[in-house]
Amino acid sequence: MRLLIIPSNFPSPSDATSGIFVLRQVQALQQLGHDAMVFHMVPHALPLNKRWRRYCSVPTEYNYQGVQVNVKRAFIAPRMLGMQYWYRQLFPRVTQIIRSFKPDLIHAHFLIPAGTFAINHDIPVVVTAHGIDAYDWPWRNSAMKAAAEKVVAAATTVVAVSNFIRGQVNKLGGRDVPVVFNGADEEEFGTYGRIEARSQLGIGDAELVIAFGGSIEKTKGIFDLVSAAALLHDLAPLLLIAGNGPEFESLRRALEGRGVRHRLFGAVDQRLMAQIMAASDVVALPSYKEGLPAILCEAMLSGRAIVATDVGGIPEIVTHGETGYVVPVADVSALAEGIRTITQDKQTQLRFELAALKIAKDKLTWRANALAYQPIYSRAIQKFEAARRQPANKA
């Protein structure tokens, strides 16, 4: 099957981490025999800062780890202002690619903005709702909600990454929304042992290590994790924090102010993230909002116990008392107690680790994800063709 993939972000030679989950899914689909091309929207940008210089350096066409990428630059306002009109710049280019590549189906990632220029091309369209595009952006203003509703109505099939996100899509008019969990890369995660990873990172075998991965902002609960680590001062935990974001320097000051031992890695590639996961005793994600966080798929495939909050799709993959602990949002004491219980009871820790690894191998790999999409693609094509024939049948 020939697939045109339209993500909201995708890795490039100047940015190896943006949209890495889409890359891994595409590669898994290629391994199953599908022919895929990516259409990547990049903002027009002046080289005023590091982020915008990365945009400027993205070539018009490139091949990234075996995936062919076609780039179109567009004039994009800050904070997604006027997002509902972006398709006017991008729709014609998508049409050109369809004519030349002749895909059987378009698969767009995120209802908005990618979904807005994937629809209405007289070709079957599958759109995956990942999280913020379903539970946050559509509810910021009426224009963004209308754009998301238009995508949900026009797409042949909308897929959600968790049952929680399916509920959000249903609020936007979705019907018969299948759920397919995100995945993790089997070639990276689960390939390191704890002792090996700690040796490579210069961490002692006896250290109590807590790992976190994600955007550095309050809604990810990272400041709650700092407070929880401070409550565990008697255990002298070491926080390994991977990620970047708007509150990076505030986080540094909080860690130093609370006297919490830490390593700040900034943005990392998957290989280093796999080492960080493997080196940890527990992975913590005390988020306030989530869809189905890929970082937990990666942690579980690394065979690590989880302490995370009861939000979004997290409880759908982290079973309280079996693969870790699910705690209330912003409950620092419960977060600290969950970490303490796991790390101070090695039998519990091992039991959680083995259970997490089994679930991840069965359900949370990109191969499992790609296999789940194959029947969805086939049904979408059948549904599209049936709808196309319907007027003729009525006549």
Give pLDDT tens digits for 276-321.
Answer: 999 999 999 999 999 999 999 999 999 999 999 999 999 999 999 9
pTM listed for this prediction = 0.93
Mean pLDDT of the chain: 94
SS3 sequence of the chain: CEEEEECCCCCECCECCCCHHHHHHHHHHHHCCCEEEEEEEEECCCCCCHHHHHHHHCCCEEEECCEEEEEEEECCCHHHCCHHHCHHHHHHHHHHHHHHHCCCEEEEECCCCHHHHCCCCCCCEEEEECCHHHHCHHHCCHHHHHHHHHHHHHCCEEEECCHHHHHHHHHCCCCCCCECCCCECCCCCCCCCHHHHHHHHCCCCCCCEEEEECCCCHHHCHHHHHHHHHHCHHHCCEEEEECCCCCHHHHHHHHHHHCCEEEEEECCCHHHHHHHHHHCCEEEECCCCCCCCHHHHHHHHCCCEEEEECCCCHHHHCCECCCEEEECCCCHHHHHHHHHHHHHCHHHHHHHHHHHHHHHHHHCEHHHHHHHHHHHHHHHHHHHHHHHHHHHHHC
Q: Rounded to an integer, what distance in angstroms lies between the CA atom of residue 255 and that of residue 333?
A: 17
pLDDT-derived band at 46 (thresholds 50, 70, 90) equals: low
pLDDT of residue 327: 98
Please give the structure tokens belonging to residue 107.
């698969």
Of residues 88 and 138, more confidently modeled: 138
pLDDT at 49 over 70: no
d(CA 282, CA 299): 9
- What per-residue confidence (pLDDT) applies to 50? 67
Q: Report residue 395's pLDDT band, with 50, 70 and 90 as the boundaries.
A: very low
Q: How confident is the model at residue 51 (pLDDT cuts 50, 70, 90)?
A: low
List the one residue out of 186, 178, 146, 373 whose CA is nearest residue 270.
Answer: 186
Annotation: CATH topology of 2-183+366-394:
Rossmann fold (3.40.50)
Report the range of poorest mean pLDDT among 33-47, 143-157, 302-316, 323-337. 33-47
Question: Domain 194-363 carries which CATH code?
Answer: 3.40.50.2000
The residue-averaged pLDDT of 252-268 equals 97
pLDDT over 60 (residue 28) = yes
Mean pLDDT of the region 51-67: 84
Which pLDDT band, with edges at 50, 70 and 90, does 392 fall under? low
Query: Do the beta carbons of residue 178 and residue 160 sit within 8 Å?
Result: yes
Q: What is the pLDDT of residue 242?
A: 98
How far apart CA 220 and CA 214 sit, in angstroms, is: 7
d(CA 367, CA 313): 20
Please write the tens of the pLDDT for every residue from 161-202: 999 999 999 999 999 999 999 999 999 999 999 999 999 999
pLDDT at 5 over 70: yes
pLDDT tens by residue, 315-368: 999 999 999 999 999 999 999 999 999 999 999 999 999 999 999 999 999 999
pLDDT confidence band for 19 (50 / 70 / 90): very high
Q: Is the peptide bond before 113 cis (omega within 30 degrees of 0)?
A: yes
Instruction: For the chain, give the longest Cα–Cα distance.
Output: 78
Q: Which amino acid is at 305?
A: A
Q: Is the pLDDT of residue 47 over 60?
A: no
**Mean pLDDT of the region 216-237:** 98
Q: Could you state, in order of their start, the residue ranges of all structural domains in the chain? A: 2-183+366-394, 194-363
Nearest to 174 by CA among 182, 183, 165: 165
> Which of 35, 58, 21, 105 has the alpha carbon at shortest distance from 381?
105
In this chain, the answer to whether the domains covering 2-183+366-394 and 194-363 adopt an identical fold is yes
Q: Which of these, 295, 299, 254, 262, lies nearest to 280 by C-alpha position?
A: 299
The whole-number average pLDDT for the span 111-134 is 96
